[in-house]
Amino acid sequence: MLNGSEVSSGTKSNKNDCAFCKRTEISYILKETPNFLLAADHAPLVEGHILIIPKQHFTCYGEVPAKLDAELFSMKQEVQQFFTNYYAPTVFWEHGIFKQTVFHAHLHCFPWGISGYDLEEELHNAIVSSQEEVRQWYALQGHYFYMEDIEKALLFAPEIDRYLGIVKNVFWRGIASRGGKVEWRSPQQRYEEGRPLINAMIHKWRLFQGQGADYANQTRP
Ligand SMILES: [Zn+2]
Ligand SMILES: [Zn+2]
C-alpha cells in the first residue's frame, strides 16, 4: 500500500504463489477464527496497523461470501474494542484490487480515530452500510476501494485522484495522529523499521486479551 509500484489490474494470483495463503508475509497472528486471521501488518504504517484476512483465497472482500459476514463483523468489533481501549477508534481500509500488493483480500485496520474525510469532498461514490453492498458494487462495477470509520463506510471508484485524495487527507493525518513518519517509505523500509511497532502492539494485544480474562473472572459467580 502507498507504494509506487502499481501492479497491473489484470493480475490474479492463485493460491500457489499467494503470500497470504502461504503465510509468508504474515509476521504475527494475533487471533484465528474458523475463517479469518487477525494479523500484524509486516510493514506497519503506525503502531497498531493490523489486518483482517480471510483464510480462503478471495481477491477482495467484494468476493467474500455472505455466510462469513457475521464472523467478519465480530472480528471488526474486537479490533474496534482493542483500538478504543489502547489507541483510538478504527479506520478500516481496503484497496480492493486497486493499488493492491497482495492479491488476497485483506482489511487494513488503523487506530486513527475519525478519518477526517468530509463527505463534501465528494471523492467517494457510495455510502454503504453492509458487506452486501460491497459485494453488489464488485459484482456490477468491479474494482473499488473502501474506507470506514465509526461514522461512515464508503466505496470509491478505483481512480487515482480519489485514491491520492484519501491518502493525503486520511492517511497522512492518521499517521501523524499516532506520531508516525509522515513521509513516503517503501514497504521494505517499513518492514525494516516495523519490528518495534509490531512488538509494542502485540504487548498491548496481550494486555487486552488478559483484560478480557480478568473481566470474565470477576463476573464469574
Ligand atoms: Zn494492503
Ligand atoms: Zn491467497
CA of 218 to the centre of ligand 1 (A): 39
Q: What is the pLDDT of residues 115-157, one digit of tens each?
A: 989 999 999 999 999 999 999 999 999 999 999 999 999 999 9
Of the candidates 88, 16, 47, 10, which has an alpha carbon nearest to the alpha carbon of residue 180? 47
CA of 98 to the centre of ligand 1 (A): 10
Q: Tell me the ligand closest to 187's alpha carbon.
A: 1
Task: Provide the pLDDT for residue 182.
Answer: 81
Q: 189 falls in which pLDDT band (50, 70, 90)?
A: very high
CA of 96 to the centre of ligand 1 (A): 9
CA of 128 to the centre of ligand 2 (A): 26
Within 8 A by CB and 6+ apart from 91, the residues are 109, 110, 111, 112, 113, 115, 147, 148, 149, 170, 174
Task: Provide the pLDDT for residue 4.
Answer: 37
Looking at the DSSP bridge assignments, the partners of residue 30 are none
Task: Provide the pLDDT for residue 14.
Answer: 64
Q: Tell me the ligand closest to 44's alpha carbon.
A: 1
Q: What is the pLDDT of residues 53-62, one digit of tens each?
A: 999 999 999 9
Task: Provide the pLDDT for residue 102.
Answer: 77
Residue-range domains of the chain with CATH: 15-219 (3.30.428.10)
Task: Provide the pLDDT for residue 154.
Answer: 97
Rounded Cα distance between 78 and 84, Å, is 10
* pLDDT at residue 7 tops 60: no
CA of 112 to the centre of ligand 1 (A): 17
Q: Tell me the ligand closest to 19's alpha carbon.
A: 2
Of 49-63, 100-114, 154-168, 201-215, minimum mean pLDDT range: 201-215
CA of 23 to the centre of ligand 2 (A): 9
CA of 209 to the centre of ligand 1 (A): 25
CA of 28 to the centre of ligand 1 (A): 16
Checking phi first, is residue 56 left (phi over 0); if not, alpha (psi -120 to 50) or beta?
beta
Rounded Cα distance between 49 and 128, Å, is 23
Task: Provide the pLDDT for residue 215.
Answer: 52
